[in-house]
Amino acid sequence: MNIDEAIAKIEDIPTISAILGEILQITSSEKSSLKDLSRLIYADQAIATKVLKMANSSFYGFTQQVKSIDRAIVILGFDEVRSIAMAMSVFESIYLKKGGAYYNRLRSWNHSMLCGFGTRILADMFIKDKELEAELFVGGLIHDIGKVIIDRYFPKEFAKILELVEQESLSIEFAEREVLSFDHALIAGNLLKKWKFPDQLRDMVIFHHHPENAPHNKMHIALIFLADLMCHELGYSTFICESKPKIEQCLDSEQLKIMQEFGFTLTPENLVELMNKLKNHISKLENLSNMMLN
Ligand SMILES: [Fe+2]
Ligand SMILES: [Fe+2]
């Protein structure tokens, strides 16, 4: 089956909620304010309710009830509320929906959310651009939505893919190409194109296994590649059978060499620091996941 036939078969997939694109758009403007973000979040009641629930969860430890999005933005901060709202919209439109036989909603969501956090940590460390950080967070969050799509729309093929991964220790993307002729990165990238997502975000998804092949912004995509490896190393993969090489073995890989080209050296020492930072996000992740799934 070629990619066009596959895309035609998944016509009915719900598009990612419009609020995500709007938040990205509005917050990339210098003039965006607390009011703009608050207005957008209130426009989607399901997301507004979840953002407030999160602000009131024990994780943030506020004793007084947070009753409005404006107040949540003041006490949690603009960036935090923006990230939560974007994560909620991806969750509602993709991860909350019914998946196929192998879909473990919690496991898939935890992988994508932790990768979003990881990418944000790396962007903060290596890029230091708040707007780009928001886009990279979304890139990390949606990098593997193609797996959910393949599982849901091509269940028979997906069973074969997982069998190959398990029996022959192949990477999931290699097995996908063997069985379907395309992988989860390519199918998701094609859907994002159809949904008119910004080119940069689409490239983050298409090239997340091979940032060195991206036509632009290789360095940004390399951060998603690294965050993805970090999640695997912490035991947060999408499927139990899926394994990836250890990051230490990848320091000289084509994918991570890109960071050196941009003047950032990744050493075993700063890797430990990065892993510790990501580990500190695990309790936040579990809190968020429990809240959303219950
Ligand atoms: Fe992937
Ligand atoms: Fe991944």
Q: For 141-173, what is each residue's pLDDT tens digit?
A: 999 999 988 988 898 999 999 999 999 989 999
Quote the mean pLDDT of the chain. Answer: 87
pLDDT at 222: 97
Q: How far apart (Å, rounded) are the C-alpha atoms in residues 122 and 277? A: 10
Q: Measured between alpha carbons, how far is 118 from 141 in angstroms, rounded to an integer? A: 10
Ligand that comes closest to the CA of residue 173: 1
3-state secondary structure of 58: coil
CA distances, 60 to each of 46, 166, 199 (Å): 21, 40, 35
Distance 225 CA to ligand 2 centre (A): 8
Domains of the chain in sequence order: 3-293 (1.10.3210.10)
Model confidence pLDDT, tens digit, residues 47-76: 898 889 888 887 777 778 889 999 998 888
145 CA to middle of ligand 2, Å? 9
- Ligand whose nearest atom lies closest to the CA of 209: 1
CA of 278 to the centre of ligand 1 (A): 19
